[in-house]
Chain A
Amino acid sequence: MSENVIANPAEIMLAEGFSGIAQDWSADKQTFQVPWGKAMMWIFLLSDTFIFSVFLTSYMTVRMSTTVPWPNPSEVFALTIFGNHLPLVLIAIMTFILISSSGTMAMAVNFGYRKDRKTTAILMLITAAFGVSFVGMQVFEWSKLIEEGVRPWGNPMGAPQFGASFFMITGFHGMHVSVGVIYLTTVAFKVYRGDFDKTGSYVAVEIAGLYWHFVDLVWVFIFALFYLW
């Protein structure tokens, strides 16, 4: 009889809400009811949140404390396309690209759990391709600014801290996107090869998705606080 009760321990009496928290933390077993890889990715992303927050906070500090006017990002990042002068247009395109990639990644996770090997792999590769085009645009943006004389220690438009903040924050974010592209391509290859059909769990796709959505999440904050402010 007792065998029936503990046949699936995870399904018995999972309380919701705050009593659920108390139960999860006080039970004599693992706290987080998720695969360990997912919990570890969340903890890594938490540490990454602090890294990016420190960058953005230091940017706030130098921008608030400078007595020299801050360059107007709306003008600095403006482009003239077919004779139209558009403020911030490249950054807007980059934002839409990253959001699109987040959408295709969410689809990939969904098809992964349906064990649709091919569609999952293709969607992940599309996501990676969006990531590559994002990095490509960032390279274009960096070379344009470097050509205009923007350096980490000064620039012709105003406060010298602008360059330091810009290269530090977008550089670190671009590195995250590049690493994400390699990560996604690797997992997509493993999906296509059928590795997760053997183990029976497609949670690796969701974990890769968590990383990718986080990269998009960081861009939301950079876009708002650095480019739009």
Chain B
Amino acid sequence: MEATEHQEHPISLYLKVWFLLFVLSACSYLVDYVGLQGFLRWGLILLFMFLKAGFIVAIFMHMAFERLALACAIITPPSVLLVLITLMAMEANYTFFTRLFFFSS
């Protein structure tokens, strides 16, 4: 177990990721500060969000250094959430148009 139990990495790796997370956070704040709108805004917000999430999970939580069996067991199940999000988006659209229809008449 000795080989897999210990997650020893050079401190410089953590400092680099730390700095990167700061920069990415500053960037996502700037998106709002500068006042970008539309697809550029949403795209950048999502891009910075996934980059930050990826670095935290991969480096800080050591997922990049774990065996693939563990990584797959933890990372793949949340993908079913895409089904939930898709279904709920369709439902929300339906509710929105139903409300427009009934509230206007």
With a cutoff of 8 Å between Cβ atoms, the chain B residues found around residue A46 in the complex are 74, 77-78
Q: A65 in the interface, Cβ–Cβ < 8 Å?
A: yes
Contact flag A64-B96 (CB < 8 Å), given A42-B70, A224-B46, A224-B49: yes
Q: A145 in the interface, Cβ–Cβ < 8 Å?
A: no
User: Which residue of B has the minimal Cβ distance to A222?
Assistant: B49
Please provide the chain B residues from 1 to 50 with a CB less than 8 Å away from any CB of chain A in the complex.
Answer: 1-9, 11, 14-15, 17-18, 21-22, 25, 28-29, 31-33, 42, 45-46, 48-49
Contact flag A60-B85 (CB < 8 Å), given A95-B29, A110-B8, A228-B32: yes
User: Which residue of B has the minimal Cβ distance to A211?
Assistant: B61
- A57 adjacent to B85 (CB under 8 Å): yes
Q: Chain A contact residues (Cβ within 8 angstroms of B): what range?
A: 35 or more
Chain B residues bordering chain A, tally (CB within 8 A): 58
CB distance from A220 to the nearest CB of B (A): 5
Q: What are 8 A-B residue pairs whose CB atoms fall within 8 Å in the complex? A: A65-B99, A87-B33, A88-B32, A96-B22, A103-B21, A203-B5, A217-B57, A220-B49
**Chain A residues with a Cβ under 8 A of chain B:** 8, 10-11, 14, 16-18, 20-21, 24-25, 31-35, 39, 42-43, 45-46, 49-50, 53-54, 57-58, 60-67, 74, 87-88, 92, 95-96, 99-100, 102-103, 105-107, 109-110, 113-114, 201, 203, 206, 209-210, 213-214, 216-217, 220-221, 223-225, 227-229
